[in-house]
Structure 1
Amino acid sequence: MEFTDQLQRAFTLEKTPKRIISLVPSQTELLYDLGLEDAVVGITKFCVHPYHFKSTKTVVGGTKNIKLEKIKALQPDIILCNKEENTQEIVETLEKICPVHVSDIKTIDDTLEMISQYGNMFKCNTKAAKINQKIQFHLKDFQAFVKDIPLQKVAYFIWRKPWMAAGKDTFINHLLALCKFENIYESHGRYPEVTIENIREEGDPDIVMLSSEPYPFKEEHAFELGRYTHHAKTIFVDGEYFSWYGSRLVKAFDYFKKLHKRLE
């Protein structure tokens, strides 16, 4: 059977995969929600959902540092990667073991496409379609919810030392726009290093968001930022809802509604 991933790379599967390794946390969660728990044999140390996978699946390293011998020993039928999470070198190394599917997610449409591809590859089209329908339903409902909400300027930080923000062509930026947040760093590259002393000159945001991942921001960091922002409100946000794609989107829009109510 011939398949194509989201980088338009063709690969062949001789049979429906029964031994899957996922090197992407949000895609691991999706596999569980597709009913493929028994087929998942390997995950990364960052695959924290569902929680019990840490004790029932083999951890094969991180997203950037894999344990190749562990992966080989699991004899996978397919390995699931992502263009942003995993390097090209990792993908090329893994292709010597078995077929590799690489996702490339910048928008919700990309997510829907990936879920459909998984449905085809793993013979779970009905469950994949149901998840996509739920995402589309909640998206339409949320778009109606934010229709009359005015745009607010935002800075979304993902790291400190150096300070780094989410910028253009990222899934985070796509979701910020859906939420009626105008990203002041949208023109600065994908994940720009920024100087917080210049934040007012850069765009003077109404809201500063400190993500729960990948950096563990604390109150002291909000205070540090507060020295340079003017009227901005600094809030802590759940980074999983802004950066995880797949089935996480089913729950994300309710979170975004609650976020807007917090900001009222």
Structure 2
Amino acid sequence: MRVVSLVPSLSEAVAVTLPAVLVGATDWCSHPVGLEVARIGGTKNPKVDRILGLAPDLVIANEEENRAADLDALRAAGLEVLVTEVRTVPQGFRALERVLAACGAPVRPRWLDEAEAAWTALPEPASRSTAVAPVWRRPWMVLGRDTFAGDVLARLGVHHLYATHPDRYPRVPLDELRAAAPDLVILPDEPYRFTADDGPEAFPGLPCALVSGRHLTWYGPSLAEAPRVLAEALRAAHP
């Protein structure tokens, strides 16, 4: 098999499970560290000609991260494209099983069993907190309805205040975010790279948790440690 991945989390999943299979990935595919495959552009602007030149048996993509027009162009060129749709943690596990099987994995990898066990064993939260979870600024955008990251937070005892918004990633003025008076502001380092010097200053008086975007938004090997890593970051900001 020769596989090109247009999704960072799926690139990691395939590379960890079937190292010889992955031949191409996006510029944003940063894991496993030191991944050495052909780079084919971004998730939103992949180089179709470059992908065709790799002669893959399969291209793996995601309906949220990749544009339909790019996927249509790949199909029109004769490539097989497998597209995942993941809005919850259980859907993430099912998508990973499907992708790895399509890539030729003979058995379910151990890391996937460990990841699913980590989430299955997660205790019911002793208490729940409210949060806003920006994913971008200029303009400010937050997690809205029906997102994988929102489901991750809910399972950790965090209700994000825009979970019922009509949009999945609504643009919300900063004044409105402040007025919502959440218990916590959650600032991931992707897709926008919030840092201690870029993000918390916009929310004076509110505790801010700087969290790993990979653990919050990726469905792949990082899921095994995500409950612990995220819970520690949330507790540090809001004991």
* TM-score relative to the length of structure 1: 0.84
2:168 aligned partner, one-letter code: R
Does 2:83 correspond to 1:106?
no
2:107 aligned partner, one-letter code: T
**Distance in 2 (alpha carbons) for counterparts of 1:26 and 1:243:** 9
**Distance in 2 (alpha carbons) for counterparts of 1:259 and 1:237:** 6
2:186 to 193, 197, 209: 209
Aligned CA distance change for structure 1 residues 220 and 243 (closer, same or farther; 3 Å) = closer
1:87-98 correspondence to structure 2 within 5 Å: 87-95=67-75, 96-98=77-79
**Distance in 2 (alpha carbons) for counterparts of 1:106 and 1:88:** 18
Deviates more, 1:155-164 or 1:184-193: 184-193
Structure 1 segments unaligned to the other structure (5+ residues): 1-17
Aligned CA distance change for structure 1 residues 261 and 197 (closer, same or farther; 3 Å) = closer
Deviates more, 1:119-128 or 1:168-177: 119-128
Does 2:51 correspond to 1:51?
no
User: 1:194-245 CA distances to partner (integer Å, 9 max, x unpaired)?
Assistant: 11112244x310000111011122324311222xxx5x31121111111001
**Distance in 1 (alpha carbons) for counterparts of 2:178 and 2:232:** 27
Does 2:13 correspond to 1:30?
yes
Deviates more, 1:57-66 or 1:246-255: 246-255
2:93 aligned partner, one-letter code: L
2:173 to 183, 192, 195: 195
Moved over 6 A (4+): none
Q: What percent identity do the matched residue pairs reach?
A: 28
Deviates more, 1:181-190 or 1:74-83: 181-190
| Residue 208 of structure 2: aligned partner | 234
1:197 aligned partner, one-letter code: D
**Distance in 1 (alpha carbons) for counterparts of 2:128 and 2:11:** 34
**Distance in 1 (alpha carbons) for counterparts of 2:106 and 2:130:** 40
Does 2:32 correspond to 1:63?
no
**Distance in 1 (alpha carbons) for counterparts of 2:234 and 2:202:** 24
SS of the counterpart of 2:203?
helix
* TM-score relative to the length of structure 2: 0.92
- Is the CA contact 1:72–1:97 (under 8 Å) kept in the aligned structure 2? no
| Residue 42 of structure 1: aligned partner | 24
**Distance in 1 (alpha carbons) for counterparts of 2:168 and 2:71:** 21
1:132 to 112, 126, 129: 112
2:24 aligned partner, one-letter code: G
| Residue 5 of structure 1: aligned partner | none
CA RMSD of aligned residues (A): 1.6
In terms of fraction of residues, the more helix-rich structure is 1
**Distance in 2 (alpha carbons) for counterparts of 1:244 and 1:77:** 24
**Distance in 2 (alpha carbons) for counterparts of 1:161 and 1:134:** 38
Structure 2 segments unaligned to the other structure (5+ residues): none
2:103 to 122, 127, 136: 122
Aligned CA distance change for structure 1 residues 148 and 123 (closer, same or farther; 3 Å) = closer
User: 1:111-153 CA distances to partner (integer Å, 9 max, x unpaired)?
Assistant: 111122134223324233x3332122111332x1xx2521101
